[in-house]
Amino acid sequence: MSARFRFSTALVVSSMLAIAATLVPAVAQSPQSGDVVKKGEYLARAGDCVACHTAPEGKLFAGGRPMPTPFGRLYTSNITPHVETGIGNWSADDFYKTMHSGRFPDGGLLYPAMPFGSYTKVTRDDSDAIFAYLKTIAPVRQTNRPHDLQFPYNNRSLILGWRTLFFNEGEFKPDPKQSDEWNRGAYLVEGLGHCGMCHTPINALGGSRESEAFQGGLIPMQDWYAPSLTSNKEAGLGDWSIEEISDLLQKGISTRGAVYGPMAEVVYNSLQYMTDEDTRAMAIYLKSIAQDEPSPPKPSVRTEEASLLISLGKTVYDKHCASCHGAEGEGKPPHYPPLAGNQSIQMESAVNGIRMVLNGGYPPATAKNPMPHGMPPFAVTLSDDEVAAVASYIRTAWGNRGTPVSAAEANKLRSAPLQ
Amino acid sequence: MTLVFVRGVFLASCLSLLGAVASAEEAYPPDMADRVQACTPCHGEQGKGTNDPYFPRLAGKPAGYLYNQLEAFKSGRRKYPPMNYLLAFLTDDYLRQFAAYFADQRPALPEKPPTDASAAVLDQGHALVTQGDLDRSIPACVSCHGGSLTGQEPGIPGLLGLRASYISAQLGGWRYGTRTATAPDCMQLVAGRLTEDDVRAVAAYLANQAQPADPAPSATGSYSLPFACGSQPEKGRTP
């Protein structure tokens, strides 16, 4: 509804402008091209272009944001329409080639930090709309900063090998056996949403295989675990309602849990702007891919040690956590998530739970949840033993089926990057 | 909850009709204390500070100053990763509400910790804080932060209730350019003229001051500034 409201305001403003334009010669823009630009702006949101192509305190889409990778540091490029330093000289064909094939206009190869492995699924029409939108933003003179990669990764021809192993070029092909809604969701999740960049395991070569799509993995350089979207034991949404999934994606909070860490960024910059229809479509697709039931993880902490940990954990929990999350882990949803039955706490990887205890965090402020409640960071007030104890307690209490964690695991995450 | 908030905004509008300075963007909901719980392990309930010497008291500092800091942590201009991380995905409107909430709090100052500074050091601090050093063009702290050192609306913080280690770390940050404010950065100019001994003396003296009779910051324009300050624009003066 609010989108429609904005649209009608835009119409009023544009008719006023049209009246004013009788006095000033303006650049002619047909209503149709205006619609294309609007669509492009929306799709650029869906693709979260801004998150990487705008530096902190930098100009919109002028690039220059450092992207740490295991192979060195990349700097994102200027995608404003500046003729010399941006993409002002590009054609729509050039732009499509970059999105679809991962090649610059001169044929040069893009590093796969740019998610062309996902963007290749974007249709030509949608690529053209994004390009039309980018042409309307303010051109910024800012020369691209050279990448700072270690030998041998500074040799771009290596990308050819990477492409052979991991890149499947081709637009999204709808599955005729599924509904239009499902196909729209799949297109957004697999294409512009580039969810697989984090939620598919990344191997030592920085690649991910289609056969392992959305199975989750530790995000390199960030030390957050991107849970599997296909396993109901992790972030698999098989037993969530469509409304709960939609809330998580669009508001950043739901009655089942909230987003945090890198996913808070995605909701803040991208998903909160999706229409209710597109959000629902993604929810339907995501619910459908969650099915399998992997075998329960084995505890890595010895039993006697674990029972001591868990009894200390209950003491810490009652003192610091129960006032919000409830004596029985029931929470006060949606602002204080339930911990009992919460998948993200019981996953084999305990990284995210430990990090939430150490670093706390706010879910993103979104149009539908503009004033989120935040989790306090306990890095300063709790010792490694206490962090491990409380994490072990919440992973195993109230019928939760996680495993205990050690103080060493908690200590290791104290130095995890906080960006 | 939305209803309560709307009522808050409504009240604030009534107040502004009555001539008060409250503005709708600064109105915060009645349950704001719950929403800023993430701040309490380091800054204490109501932002009154904790025993940890590295985390500052927030309570009663002018809202403009607090907002500038929140914004600087959000954008990364002021670097402290745990803060940068917490604020990254909050909106400017919401951060203004954080600032307004902490500015309104008036918990008592903490017991001042025993000082290990010598009388000579405290005297040197006293002189710099209250008179400055004309020969070295160092203005007195009181000339901007107010005679009772409780700050000045809207952008100049109070200096009481902070530990010596926090104050010296911040002055050090300004001297070395790791902490900056909106240009012209008057505090960088001042801190750049201080020696390490000056910093130690000022920090020890400030941390040793008792609770003032009135903890509220001085009103905007109470003290005319010796330099143009980006975070405290003055009428008729272009920063």
Determine the pLDDT at residue A158.
Answer: 86
What are the structure tokens assigned to A238, written together? 């098989």
Cβ pair B89:A365 closer than 8 A: yes
Residue A359, in any domain of the structure: yes
The residues, ordered by sequence, that sit 6+ positions from A328 with a Cβ below 8 Å of its Cβ are: A340, A398
Query: Both A234 and A316 in a single domain?
Result: no
Residue A11, in any domain of the structure: no
Query: Both A116 and A209 in a single domain?
Result: no
What are the structure tokens assigned to A85, written together? 């330093």
Query: Both A190 and A245 in a single domain?
Result: yes
Determine the pLDDT at residue A302.
Answer: 66
With CA atoms as reference, the chain B residue closest to A357 would be: B38
Query: Both A71 and A41 in a single domain?
Result: yes
Cβ pair A362:B29 closer than 8 A: no
What are the structure tokens assigned to A310, written together? 């868990």
- How far, in Å, CA of B103 to CA of B216, rounded? 9
Residue A240, in any domain of the structure: yes
Query: Both A105 and A69 in a single domain?
Result: yes
Tell me if chain B has a CB within 8 Å of the CB of A418.
Answer: yes
Determine the pLDDT at residue A9.
Answer: 42
- How far, in Å, CA of B87 to CA of B229, rounded? 25
B126 three-state secondary structure: helix
Out of B40, B87, B90, the one facing A376 most closely (by C-beta) is: B40
In this predicted model, what pLDDT tens digit does every residue of A382-411 receive, in sequence order?
Answer: 999 999 999 999 999 999 999 999 999 999
Query: Both A188 and A239 in a single domain?
Result: yes
Probe site for chain B from A371, A382, A415, A419 (most B CB atoms < 10 A): A371
Residue A202, in any domain of the structure: yes
Determine the pLDDT at residue A229.
Answer: 86
Edge-to-edge strands, sheet with A66-69: A66-69, A72-75, A148-149
Cβ pair B84:A371 closer than 8 A: no
Residue A21, in any domain of the structure: no
| Furthest C-alpha separation in chain A | 84
| B80: amino acid identity, one letter | Y
pLDDT-based confidence at A152, cuts 50/70/90?
confident
Query: Both A187 and A243 in a single domain?
Result: yes
Distances (CA, A) of A179 to A182, A185, A283, B221: 5, 10, 13, 65
Give the domain CATH number at A380.
1.10.760.10
- How far, in Å, CA of B198 to CA of B175, rounded? 12
Cβ pair B35:A371 closer than 8 A: yes
In this prediction the pTM is 0.86
Residue A279, in any domain of the structure: yes
Determine the pLDDT at residue B20.
Answer: 36
Q: Which residues of A touch B180 (CB under 8 A)?
A: none
- How far, in Å, CA of A197 to CA of A195, rounded? 5
Give me chain A's average pLDDT, please: 88
Determine the pLDDT at residue B54.
Answer: 87
- How far, in Å, CA of A138 to CA of A17, rounded? 20
DSSP result, B173-236: HHHTTSS--SSS-HHHHHHHT--HHHHHHHHHHHHTPPPPS--SPBPTTSS--SS--TTS--TT
Choosing from A258, A289, A320, the residue where a domain stops is A289
Count how many pairs of residues, chain A against chain B, have C-beta atoms within 8 Å.
Answer: 77
Cβ pair B82:A359 closer than 8 A: yes
> Over 80: is that where the pLDDT of A304 sits?
no
What are the structure tokens assigned to A156, written together? 């771009």
Give the domain CATH number at A188.
1.10.760
CA angle (A299, A304, A306) in 5-degree steps: 45
Q: Which residues of B touch A370 (CB under 8 A)?
A: 91, 93-94
Out of A265, A380, A417, the one facing B52 most closely (by C-beta) is: A380
| Host domain of residue A221 | 180-289
Determine the pLDDT at residue B148.
Answer: 94
Query: Both A261 and A310 in a single domain?
Result: no
Query: Both A241 and A333 in a single domain?
Result: no
> Over 70: is that where the pLDDT of A12 sits?
no
pLDDT-based confidence at A69, cuts 50/70/90?
confident
Q: How many helices (H) and strands (E) does chain B have?
A: 11, 0
Helix (H) or strand (E) holding A74: strand A72-75
Determine the pLDDT at residue A156.
Answer: 83
Residue A297, in any domain of the structure: no
Determine the pLDDT at residue B13.
Answer: 41
In this predicted model, what pLDDT tens digit does every residue of A254-300 receive, in sequence order?
Answer: 999 999 999 999 999 999 999 999 999 999 999 999 876 655 556 56
Determine the pLDDT at residue B168.
Answer: 95
Query: Both A54 and A109 in a single domain?
Result: yes
- How far, in Å, CA of A205 to CA of A218, rounded? 14
- How far, in Å, CA of A161 to CA of A377, rounded? 43
Determine the pLDDT at residue A272.
Answer: 98
Q: Which residues of A touch B38 (CB under 8 A)?
A: 360-362, 374-377
Distances (CA, A) of B200 to A170, B57, B76, B205, B211: 65, 19, 27, 9, 21
Contact A280, A287 (CB under 8 A): no
Tell me if chain B has a CB within 8 Å of the CB of A372.
Answer: yes
Cβ pair A57:B75 closer than 8 A: yes
Choosing from A232, A261, A289, the residue where a domain stops is A289
Q: Which of A370, A356, A369 is nearest to A255 (CA)?
A: A369
> Over 50: is that where the pLDDT of A89 sits?
yes
Query: Both A310 and A231 in a single domain?
Result: no
In this predicted model, what pLDDT tens digit does every residue of A340-388 receive, in sequence order?
Answer: 999 889 988 999 999 999 999 999 999 999 999 999 999 999 999 999 9
Tell me if chain B has a CB within 8 Å of the CB of A66.
Answer: no
Tell me if chain B has a CB within 8 Å of the CB of A324.
Answer: yes
Q: Which residues of A touch B79 (CB under 8 A)?
A: none
Structural domain tally of chain A?
3
- How far, in Å, CA of A255 to CA of A133, rounded? 36
Tell me if chain B has a CB within 8 Å of the CB of A419.
Answer: yes
Q: How far is CA A261 from the centre of its chain?
A: 9
| B16: amino acid identity, one letter | S
Q: So what's the ipTM on this one?
A: 0.86
Contact A120, A102 (CB under 8 A): yes
In this predicted model, what pLDDT tens digit does every residue of A178-220 receive, in sequence order?
Answer: 999 999 999 999 999 999 988 887 766 667 777 777 778 888 7
Task: Tell me which residues of chain B have a pLDDT lower than 70.
Answer: 1-26, 236-239
Mean pLDDT of A140-152: 92
User: What are the b/e assignments for B39-69, b being 16+ CB within 10 Å?
Assistant: bbbbbbebbbbbeebebbbbbbbbbbbbbbb
- How far, in Å, CA of B99 to CA of A349, rounded? 37
Choosing from A117, A152, A171, the residue where a domain stops is A171
- How far, in Å, CA of A173 to CA of A186, rounded? 10
In this predicted model, what pLDDT tens digit does every residue of A312-345 receive, in sequence order?
Answer: 999 999 999 999 999 999 999 999 999 999 988 9
Name the β-bridge partners of B152: B156, B218
Residue A98, in any domain of the structure: yes
- Tell me which DSSP letter residue A214 carries: T
**In chain B, which residues touch A (CB < 8 A)?**
29, 34-42, 52, 55, 75-77, 81-82, 84-91, 93-94, 97
Place of tokens 């991991």: A166
Determine the pLDDT at residue A256.
Answer: 94
- How far, in Å, CA of A258 to CA of A159, rounded? 37
- Counting Cα atoms < 13 Å in the Cβ hemisphere of B86 gives 27
The residues, ordered by sequence, that sit 6+ positions from A109 with a Cβ below 8 Å of its Cβ are: A102, A103, A156, A157, A159, A160, A163
